[in-house]
Chain A
Amino acid sequence: MEGVLHQVLSGIASGGIYASVALALVMIYQATHHVNFAQGEMATFSTYIALTLINFGLPYWVAFVITVVVSFVIGVLIERILMRPMMNAPVLASVGVFIGLLLIINSCTGWAFDYTIKTFPTPFPGGPVLFSGYVSGHELGATGVTILVLIAVYLFFRHTKLGLAMRAAAYNPVSARLVGIRVGWMLALGWGLAAAIGAIAGMMVAPIVYLDPNMMAGILLYAFAGALLGGIDNPLGAVLGGFAVGIIENLAGAYLVGTELKLTVALLIIVLVLVVKPSGLLGRTVMSRV
């Protein structure tokens, strides 16, 4: 029983990371109906920026804040430059641009920071602290940070004017424009936020999985699974889905398929959700006029 508890707890820890990335994906999907295949590479790039700043001698949290801000700016720039012309393009074109972005960012990361595997520092006290040593200090801290981020995002969208405007722009761009909301800038802001959230997820996961240019590939897959499980157009669903995938992944890895097939579990979740309930647990069923 203790083993199960351990798996569930560390599932929640990694689930928090998946939930953040899933949230970043859903924010972009909700507003533009694009799935950002480059989300993982963007987060990895941000994490390298953080590492560089820390190696310069900046304190961890200063580097953290600078990284988040820089990532936000990069996200906004990508939307303004690359994604804006792709607004109404067919699926193939948008997938093509995202894959192109993935390739460019991946090789820029490799080129600028080389391909060796690096360790990433954690700001939290080391050593096992909770539940008779089942949860490490970093896991606890990372879970705390991701939950804080999720709450902050929730409060931002629910209780600020800007958040309301962003939701309006995503929900009904035409009406939003008619009441004076600058829809284009709201989308760019959404991209910036998604990039910033991804950066935080990257910095939180890097101490666990170590930093290399392909660090986020697997995590992106889990985030996809989480987003689909919860409903790809529902932020709350995506967050819950992310946590659920984290727990399922850990339990399945420990008791069903072994650690070598963990990624296949994500694939299975994706296929099952799409076959059984394509709208996800909390998503809206989309009706389309023909």
Chain B
Amino acid sequence: MDTVKMLRSGMLAVLLWLAAALLPILLFSNYHLFQLTMMVVYAIAILGLVVLTGYNGQISLGHGAFYAIGAYVTAVLMYQYDWPYWATLPASAIVCAAVGFLIGLPALRLGGLYLALTTFALAVAVPQLLKHNALEPWTGGVQGLVIDKPDPPFGLDISPDAWLYLFSLFIGGLLFLFAWNVVRGRVGRAMMAIRDHALAAEAMGINIALLKTRTFALSAMFTGIAGSLGAIVVQFVAPDSFGIFVSIYFFVGLVVGGVSSIGGAIFGGLFIEFVPNLAETVSKAAPGAVYGVILIAVMFLMPSGAAGFVAAAFARFRRRTKSGLVAPVTRGEAGAEDVSATAALPRGAGPDVGGHHSL
């Protein structure tokens, strides 16, 4: 991309971001702002999974654990030590990255399925750990902690909900920019090389162990910050709100949004915030069933997720308006296919997730 084009798309992104910040504040009620804030929070959490699964090929079914840790770091610091809410975000980023790094260490030895299994076990065990007596002086045990809603600073004349929305959107914007830069740089290419062919990547001089654990730490950090924001927005943490289903919903959001697309995380956030609300009008059990059916349908019909679908549609539109010729494969589809489409693998010989591309 040349400089002019880059400047132009940068400007466009900033304008879009401003529109996303201002329009809802002017138009929406506090409840809808709360929902939008949660959507941003979920999008950040799923962003962590996109980096991990989409770009590095490691499957985690336990990111709810990092979400919980982030939420608890924030809640404990605010409730027990009176930290201001914004100061807790760096703390929870550091804690989650450290925990992620530690969990990434054994994960190194585990191929795709075993990692999925271990993280699944982690997610099942987390509520029990949070409830444990030894931690009760800090975590408040089963009861959880209630924290105060922050007021808008600088004498801004907006509601606290509107301020929280702006705050989350700002943090989210920074994190998405960060992730976008990481995956498009040298590190990102190394991550994708490991995903597509670990052995070849190693032969090219990539330190697989270091990069995989660091990716896990980075991914845990994103999801942990999301947890912190979530705790501030909901103003409440309790062990039972971080069960296995949080992790599973993140996974669903990841797959539905599009596994290897940074923008897909936004679709994922939209999906897990708003689809349950729609489905719940039918019945209490409906959200789970709807999630399950859509998850399986996406796996069979649209393996590159919503983001891949939109990218393909966009590419088709541009092709039609430009030349009328039909190119064989669009970029969006090809990129995502590496991870999730069905590439026939010799059993047991495949790498973690993706297709086994020969050199």
Contacts and interface: CB of A to CB of B under 8 A. Distances in A.
Interface in B121-156: 121-122, 124-125, 128-129, 131-133
Contacts of B350: 90-91
Contact of A261 (B106, B111, B129, B298): B129
B319 to A, nearest CB: 28
Contacts of B339: 90, 92
Interface residues of A, number: 51
A228 B109 CA distance: 14
A228 B289 CA distance: 30
A288 B349 contact: yes
Interface string B296-334: 101110010000000000000000000000000000000
Contacts of B269: none
A275 B292 contact: no
Contacts of B295: 96-97, 99-100, 103
A18 interface: no
A51 interface: no
B109 A99 contact: no
Among B116, B286, B355, the one with the most A-chain Cβ atoms within 10 Å of its Cβ is B116
A118 interface: no
B132 A261 contact: yes
A103 B106 CA distance: 28
A286 interface: yes
B284 A110 contact: yes
Main secondary structure of the interface of B (DSSP, over half): helix
A104 B292 contact: yes
Interface in A20-34: 33-34
Given A90-B355, A92-B353, A260-B133, A111 B124 contact: no
Given A33-B347, A91-B352, A103 B248 contact: yes
A266 B342 contact: no
A90 B285 contact: no
A92 B340 contact: yes
B61 to A, nearest CB: 7
B128 A91 contact: no
Interface in A233-290: 258, 260-264, 266-267, 270-271, 274-275, 278, 286, 288-290
Contacts of A270: 117-118, 121
Contacts of A105: 292
A96 B285 contact: no
Among A95, A100, A102, A290, the one with the most B-chain Cβ atoms within 10 Å of its Cβ is A100
A136 interface: no
Contacts of A261: 128-129, 132
Interface in B95-122: 106, 109-114, 116-118, 120-122
B293 interface: yes
Interface in B57-106: 59, 61, 106
Main secondary structure of the interface of A (DSSP, over half): helix
Interface in A67-116: 82, 85, 88-93, 95-97, 99-108, 110-111, 115
A124 B291 CA distance: 40
Nearest to B54: A92
Contacts of A286: 348
Given A96-B295, A102-B248, A218 B340 contact: no
Given A93-B303, A271-B106, A99 B113 contact: no
A288 B348 CA distance: 6
Contacts of B251: 96, 99
Given A35-B117, A104-B292, A290-B199, A99 B252 contact: yes
B344 interface: yes
Contacts of B343: 90
11 contacts: A35-B117, A90-B353, A92-B53, A92-B112, A95-B113, A99-B248, A102-B292, A104-B292, A115-B284, A261-B129, A264-B129
Given A33-B348, A93-B303, A274-B109, 5 more contacts: A90-B350, A97-B296, A263-B128, A278-B114, A290-B349
Closest 8 CB pairs of A and B: A107-B288, A103-B292, A111-B285, A104-B292, A100-B295, A91-B112, A100-B296, A107-B285
